[in-house]
Amino acid sequence: SYELTQPPSVSVSPGQTATITCSGDNLGDDFASWYQQKPGQSPVLVIYQDNKRPSGIPERFSGSNSGNTATLTISGTQAMDEADYYCQTWATSTYVFGTGTKLTVL
Amino acid sequence: QVHLVQSGAEVKKPGSSVKVSCKTSGGTFSSYTFSWVRQAPGQGLEWMGKIIPVLDRATYAQKFLGRLTFTADRSTSTVYMELSSLTSDDTAVYYCARLTFNGDEGWFDPWGQGTLVIVSS
């Protein structure tokens, strides 16, 4: 089965840039989406089709996808961005989620 | 603005079934596709399948074949997820989400608030 691998954790200082990667075989051949999930809450879509932001998502969230890696970038990270982040794609007739990354803002 | 509201938490015995509802408000129910995604305690997200209410057509992830059923009631704009032969491994929060897709590829937005299902003897 197809797998998407993310680093378990990423730490960033407030105001700095956070980068979260998502790796999968030829991931760049398909679109990737990203979700933010805060403790006890439902996931929220922050990026779809590699680099599009839904209405209401701050401009500091951006995405890219090429080769075997999709990347979520948060510029000027704020304390409110501390959460779990999951990538997602379509592969082998199923929707697949990444393993998840806990972003700590310290 | 589409809003999804799910039914409340459930506690079930091993071997039994659970049925979770997801009621939609706002938007046009018949034009949407919905998916169910679950999350075991402390774990990641797992896609379970999708349903297209206007076609009454459901697709299930391989691991759930034979014990998962999605249905839709267009009169109440509600979709349902029923999972049978429950084991402790099915203890999880179950989410419904609208699936927007382009060909096969798609994304999930918005999500319901989640329904906790606990399977315990």
Report chain A residues whose CB lies below 8 A from the CB of B99.
95
Q: Are B47 and B62 in contact (CB under 8 A)?
A: no
- What are the tens digits of pLDDT across the range B1-34? 899 999 999 999 999 999 999 999 988 998 999 9
B70-79 average pLDDT score: 96
How many Cβ atoms sit within 10 Å of the Cβ of residue B33?
19
How many Cβ atoms sit within 10 Å of the Cβ of residue A92?
8
Nearest-Cα distance to chain A for B40, in Å, is 13
Q: Report phi then psi at A26, rounded to 5.
A: 50, 35
Residue B4: per-residue pLDDT? 98
Residue A21: per-residue pLDDT? 98
pLDDT at B41 over 80: yes
Residue B104: per-residue pLDDT? 75
Report chain B residues whose CB lies below 8 A from the CB of A98.
44
B63-88 average pLDDT score: 97
Which DSSP category does B77 fall into? Answer: T
A-B Cβ pairs (cutoff 8 Å, strict)? 61
How many Cβ atoms sit within 10 Å of the Cβ of residue A41?
13
A12-25 average pLDDT score: 98
Q: Check if A23 contacts B (Cβ < 8 Å).
A: no
Band of the pLDDT at B101, cuts 50, 70, 90?
Answer: confident
Residue A93: per-residue pLDDT? 85
Pairing assessment for the beta strands A9-12 and A101-105 based on DSSP bridges: parallel
pLDDT at A7 over 80: yes
Residue A14: per-residue pLDDT? 97
Report chain B residues whose CB lies below 8 A from the CB of A35.
45, 108
pLDDT at B105 over 90: no
Distance CA A2, CA A98 (A): 10
Interface of B with A in 38-77 (CB under 8 A): 44-47, 61-62
- In this complex, do B47 and A54 lie within 8 Å of one another by their Cβ atoms? no
pLDDT at B103 over 90: no
Q: How far apart, in Å, are the Cα atoms of B10 and each of A55, B17, B90, B117?
A: 34, 10, 12, 5
Q: What is the b/e burial string over A6-30, where b = at least 16 CB atoms within 10 angstroms of the residue's CB?
A: beeebebeeeeebebbbbbeebbeb
B49-61 average pLDDT score: 95
pLDDT at B117 over 90: yes
Give the closest residue to B92 by CA, choosing from B47, B49, B41, B44. B41
Interface of B with A in 2-21 (CB under 8 A): none
Using CA coordinates, name the residue in chain B closest to A41.
Answer: B113
Helix or strand (DSSP H, E) at B15 = none
Burial category of A3 from C-beta neighbours within 10 Å (exposed 0-12, middle 13-18, buried 19 and up): exposed
Write the residue in B99, B105, B112 that is nearest to A30 by C-beta.
B105
Distance CA A11, CA A60 (A): 17
- What are the tens digits of pLDDT across the range A46-105? 999 999 999 999 999 999 999 999 999 999 999 999 999 999 999 888 999 999 999 999
Q: Are A96 and A69 in contact (CB under 8 A)?
A: no
